[in-house]
Each structure stands twice: as C-alpha cells, then as structure tokens.
Amino acid sequence: MHEDQTHAARTAPTPACELPPPASRRHLHTRDVIMQGFRRDDGLWDIEGEMKDCKTTPWPSWERGEQPPDVPIHHMQVRLTLDDTYTVRAVAAALPSIPFAECTAGMPPLQGLVGASIARGWRKTLESTLGGIKGCTHLRELLMNLGTVAYQTVGGEARRQEWDALPEPRVRPPVATSPKPHWDKCVGWRLDGEVIRRWAPDFYRASGKAPASTSPADAE
C-alpha cells in the first residue's frame, strides 16, 4: 500500500535516533530483506537471507506485460550452512519470482562457494565466484551481508554462553581477552577508541602506537 507523505523537509538539526521529516513524496518501491541465523541440531549453523522487490503500483514486465503491485519483481532466498570455523559446508537457493527465466543460471555457480571461508576474503570469494556475468547481482548482495549475520549468530551465541557462565549476579560481560575480527573496522570499534579502552584495555592502542595483534579472520 502506498501513501503520500506530506511533511515538509526540516532543516534544523535532529537527534541521531531519528530521521528528519521528509519532503512531500510518493512511495514507489519497497525492498524487504530478512536475514536470520540458526543453530542446527547437528551442530552446524544455517544463515538465511530473503529479498523481495515490490512496486506500489502496477508495473510493466518485459516478459509478462503489466503486473499488479503484489507480484514482486524479485523474490530470492539463499541459505548458507556453516561449521564452527565459518567454513561453508552447503549452499541452497530458491527464486520464487524473477524477471527472466534466464536468471536461474545464477544458481549453479553458488556451489562454488562450498569450502570457502566467510572469515577470510569473503568479498573476494564472492567476486571471483559470482561476480559480473558469472552470477546474480541480488544473490551476491544477499550473500555479502550474510557474512555479517553469521558473525552476529555464531559470535553472539558464544558471547551468550560466556554470559551464562558468569556467577550471579551478572552485571556486565567480562572484558575481551582475545582480538576480534570486527575490531578497527568501524568508528565504534576503532583500536584507539573509547569502546576498546573500556572493554578490551589490553588491546587499546593510543593514536600512533603500534597495532595490536589481530585474528586471522580479519584478513581479506
């Protein structure tokens, strides 16, 4: 369902927790992306992504003529099965809605990811295996972001188990005792920043100081 937005744009500063009201506009397109991580009963991990592109009005399909807005232009699903070392053990995909029948040719190359590590050079692996005309742009986009979801799933579960092992009353997680692959990859986790200084003081590096050792998972 589309709706016209009639709020005028606001130029005054706004808090970081909200967008400023938009200018008058009309909703035309929605891309829904859902990504989920699962712990399997056999000890492996399933990381799944689903993407759906929809229009808010009837849209012209090259192959099928005018389509109603409830028919998605793209609807794609992909599942990575990983072991504890972040190695891909299996890949599965489904394409419930695609613009061309030829798009299914993007599925077989996905099997080239089996045996790859999402912890080392995942971006390069996707480009060499699925880049350009070798694969599907949208599946490639899903797979790129599933790498981060895998870290949130596997690493998050390890963090939860550490938390559960703490004696009561639990107040805060223990400080980090080993380097993590996401450190120094964003403004929050910069090695010379306050978050590292508070929660991983052994690895804090003041500006100009030699870098702390990093995990092999950090390498591209």
pTM, two decimals, is 0.80
Give the whole-angstrom CA distance, residue 141 versus residue 130: 10
pLDDT of residue 68: 95
Give the whole-angstrom CA distance, residue 138 versus residue 74: 9
Give the whole-angstrom CA distance, residue 34 versus residue 52: 9
In the chain, domain spans: 28-158, 175-207
Nearest of 74, 79, 95, 4 to residue 32 by alpha carbon: 74
Q: Is it the case that residue 218 has pLDDT exceeding 70?
A: no
pLDDT of residue 216: 38
Tell me the pLDDT tens digit for each residue of 16-59. Answer: 789 999 999 999 999 999 999 999 999 999 999 999 999 999 99
Tell me the pLDDT tens digit for each residue of 60-99. Answer: 999 999 999 989 999 999 999 999 999 999 999 999 999 9
